[in-house]
Structure 1
Amino acid sequence: MLTPEESTAVALSLRIALMAMICATPFAVAAAYVLARWQFRGKVLFDAIVHLPLLMPPVLTGYALLLLFGRNGPIGHWLESWFGISFAFRWTGAVIAAAVMAFPLFVRSVRLSIEAIPRELDEAAAGLGARPWAKFWHVILPLSFPGIAAGMTLAFAKALGEFGATITFVSNIPGETQTISLAVHTLTQVPGGESGIGRLAIVSILLSLGALIASEWMVRRSAYRRPPE
């Protein structure tokens, strides 16, 4: 059985991972579509920026978020002054950190799925008079759903296990920002914490497997899934 503190960390991790996945989805799909189908100056730079969180150390990413979204940062100060919204050292900030770290994996999964769709389908839809938005909504999006489902799974799993950017941006506050990963980090510094680490490890594995099963179920339920080769 989990202790109350461990249960709180699990519940908080689930909330943060789900919110990070949901928040990242529209931006990841849009970025993947741009990278897969558009040709423009600066595309290489845009691609590099999208994948920057994978290239930078997570702690440095968290520090960059703190500089931007902290109370003295340009975005954070503006949000707090005008809307009373604060992200630093709060669970909402953990959502941002998790979404940023999961974003490149999400984009890559969706991009590969879109690139696998023959461009002849785009041309056929355009020849039938479909507008770009209608073509994206009725052709590209349904056919790329397996990639989107896989990206959602990757984003959820990555957000669930995010550590470096989270602890740097929002610290390790029990009940507010302490996720499973941060709780495990705390238990490593506590004598006799091995049992708690084991329990949280089992929960993490079960949650990740559950996300994978849910992803497979969504793909199989999709009317547009590709037949097996």
Structure 2
Amino acid sequence: MNRIDLNCDLGESFGAWRMGEDAALLALVSSANVACGFHAGDPAIMQHTVVLAAERGVAIGAHVSLPDLQGFGRREMAVTPAEVHAMTLYQLGALHAFARAAGTAVAHVKPHGALYNMAARDRALAEAIADAVRAFDPALALFGLAGSALLDAGRAVGLKVVSEAFADRRYRADGSLQPRREPDAVIDDADAATAQALRMAQRGEVTAVDGQRVALKADTLCLHGDGAHAVDFARRLRAALEAAGLRIAAPAAA
């Protein structure tokens, strides 16, 4: 592999409340997952984020979520596949309106938080998301956890799937992410996170929390934009990847 995508969850401010340094991060990433109002974001924030991403040539994705503003989309809910299908279409359509008005287009879809994790293991929910994406636009790419049910569902309906890995998250031996509610689920040390990202991008593997070596395919690396040092880490990680000979580019630009 001589290229890697860097994606970041952006547009997560809401009303008078602000989260992250979106403008600075958009200068460092190649794909932006824009919150669509269910877990974060509002119409004005969505519009502003889309315009900024378009100006910087960053690929725009719909970061679809469960309807959980208070819990930031990180709490699981009892939802049916039909509900998830409708939620995905609703949020994707909203972002598409802002993208079209800005003279650009949505390039991919990535579930957020609890929905992401649920779809990684629940084939029925994964199929609901994949079917909604295909119904809206079969040319859209579907981002999902490497080795997950979501990517399998996307492939089954003919979507381009993008295997995602996380620079700053711990992995279990089965390739799933260690839940945030557990200790040390997030890697706070920038050097350790950078080393893990390089290993995933170059060698296609990660060390699980129990010490096992786990194979995974990393087409894109996720950066979280809500940390206090998110911009500094993004800058450091991009420099390390480029120094290793990797070109930073969105999947569609590969």
Q: Which has the higher contact order (CA 8 A, sep 6+)?
A: 1
TM-score, normalized by length of structure 1?
A: 0.30
Point out the structure with max Rg over C-alpha.
1
TM-score (norm 2): 0.28
More strand by share: 2
